[in-house]
Amino acid sequence: MRKAAVHLLLYLLLVVVQLACISSGAFASEKNTLRCDIDATAEARSANRSRVTSGKFDFETKTVMLNSGYAMPILGLGTYSLLGDSCVNSVVTELESGGRLIDTAYMYHNEDFVGKGIKKTGIPREDVFITTKLYPDQYADAPNAIDEALKKLDVGYIDLMLLHHPGKGDIDAYKAMEQAAADGKIRSIGLSNWYIKELKEFLPKITILPAVVQNEIHPYYQENEVVDYVHSLGIVMEGWYPLGGRGHTAELLGDKTITEIAKAHGVSSAQVILRWNLQKGVVVIPGSSNPDHIRENLDLFGFELTDEEMTAIKALGRDEKHDWY
């Protein structure tokens, strides 16, 4: 009887509160609508994190589930510095060799060539994952910049759009991407060249948790703390310059530790480095216009690095960044 009385009292109290809210118009107020939006956002972020935690790299499908609910290939082609027919042909080689991720950006000046390459293969649009980026000089007019990217690519929608690096107006630009995602123009959104300090300042100011953070990552610049932090948030980490970047590739590929591991597995140094990235949970987008290299960079699933080999490569880290981002 006592328990029933307590339940009845709580129920009556709830009714009184609801009636008071209704009579005061609180349920219809803008403040309460905002509160509901915030609560829904928090729930969505929580769901996102749990989904990604259970969606680690799938080496059979060669994909990872993003917190946006879309699967992303874990390796692909970076198109920085590829222009004209070289870009078109590289995209064609990547896709016809089994790759399904193409990374471009406004600042690469090749979004139109990427789109042409995709169409040239005849591969269904839904089977290709396309990433592009907005540059800081576009942030002030991000909605039109998004439409411009869609027009240049001419592929119907963008799988993943990133802000290229922090800059004036980046919060408003990110919110424009959030709206474009709601409108169906973009499926997933994220950031490039954001580190722990920048992420801690940025994330509380936005609504949709980034699906991907894309930074420079290679054995000489490993970002282990950043990778762990990004993963802890339920965000996928992606690495550009995985082979060290222009002017540094030869040194990295010729590193004694790397070459010895490559020899042990009967693969190339590039394959060892790319496989190392994958095993630490980093998506890779090596750039190349050489058809043989493009095909080789996709052939990463016939061997696996041992724990000792992963540790040996980790020991190569020297916090040596090869670009200014």
Q: Name the residues annotated as catalytic.
A: 108
Dist. CA 94–CA 60, nearest whole Å: 19
Nearest CA to 287 among 71, 72, 64, 75? 75
Residue 286 burial (CB count, 10 A): 24
Provide the token pair at 123: 């591969």
Dist. CA 177–CA 183, nearest whole Å: 10
Is 248 part of any known ligand binding site? no
- Residue 52's alpha-carbon distances to 18, 158, 170, 277, 281, in angstroms, are 37, 21, 25, 18, 12
Binding residues for substrate, by number, are 164
